[in-house]
Amino acid sequence: MTARRVLDVSGLPPYNISSQSPLFWGQVLMCLIEGSLLCMLIAIYFYLRLGVDVWPGPGVHLPGLTLSSWALIPLAASCIGSYLASEAAKKDSRSGMLLGMGLNLGLAVIFLVLRALDWKSLNFTWESDAHGSIVWTILFLHSYDIVADMLMTAVLIVIVASGRCGPRQRIGVHVDSVLWYFLAGIWIPLYGVVYWAPRLIGASR
C-alpha cells in the first residue's frame, strides 16, 4: 500500500500581494474572458461591413475624432494612478493607495465625461442600422465595464480611507489595477474600429 504524502505548506505566507497571487491570476483570466467577448464584437463589426455596399449607411455621419481622441489622454494617464496604487499596496502605504486610486478615479471620470459628450454627438442610435447597432454595443459594453471598475475602485477608496488596509484590502487594490490596465488597453483596438475603420474601409458616398 502506497504511503500518503503530505505537503507542508505551513511556511508559506497567508497572503501574497504580487503577480504570484492566485487572485491576481483569477483576475487575469477574467480579463481574458471579457477580452474574448470584445474581440468577438470586433469580428462582428467587420462581418457586418462585408454584407453592405455603403458603410455607414446613407445620412450617417462618421463618428467624430476630436473628443474621442482627447479622451485617450486621461484614459492612458489613469493607468499611472493604478500603478501607483498597486505599488503602494505592495509596500503597505495607505496614503499611496489613496493617492493612486484617487488619481485613477478622477481621470476615469474625465474620460467618461468626454465619452458621453462624444456619444451624444452621434447622429445614429442602436436601432438605426447594422452599423449603429454594433457601434452602440461596443460603446455600451466598454462603458459598462469602465463604470463597474470605477465603482469597485470607489469602494476600495472608502474601505482604505476608513482605516481598513490589511492584506485582504491590499490584494484588492493590487488586482483592481489589473482590470483597469485591461480596460484601458482593450479600448485602443476598439477605438480604431469605431472611429477609424469607417474612414478606412467605408465605401465612398
Going residue by residue through the chain (205 aa), what tens digit of pLDDT does each one get?
Answer: 566 777 765 565 566 676 777 778 888 899 999 999 999 999 999 999 998 888 998 889 999 999 999 999 999 999 999 999 999 998 989 999 999 999 999 999 999 999 999 999 999 999 999 999 999 999 999 999 999 999 999 999 999 999 888 888 888 898 999 999 999 999 999 999 999 999 988 765 5
Q: What's residue 19's pLDDT?
A: 73
Asked whether the beta carbons of 176 and 82 are under 8 A apart, the reply is yes
Please report which helix (H) or strand (E) contains residue 121, including its range: helix 94-121
Asked whether the beta carbons of 131 and 48 are under 8 A apart, the reply is yes
| Nearest in space to 183 (alpha carbons), one of 79, 43, 98 | 79
Q: Amino acid identity, residue 39?
A: C
pTM of the full predicted structure? 0.89
Q: What's residue 168's pLDDT?
A: 83
Asked whether the beta carbons of 76 and 184 are under 8 A apart, the reply is yes
Q: What's residue 85's pLDDT?
A: 95
d(CA 99, CA 71): 22
Residue 204 backbone dihedrals phi, psi, to 5 degrees: -65, 155
Work out the widest C-alpha separation in the chain, in whole angstroms. Answer: 80
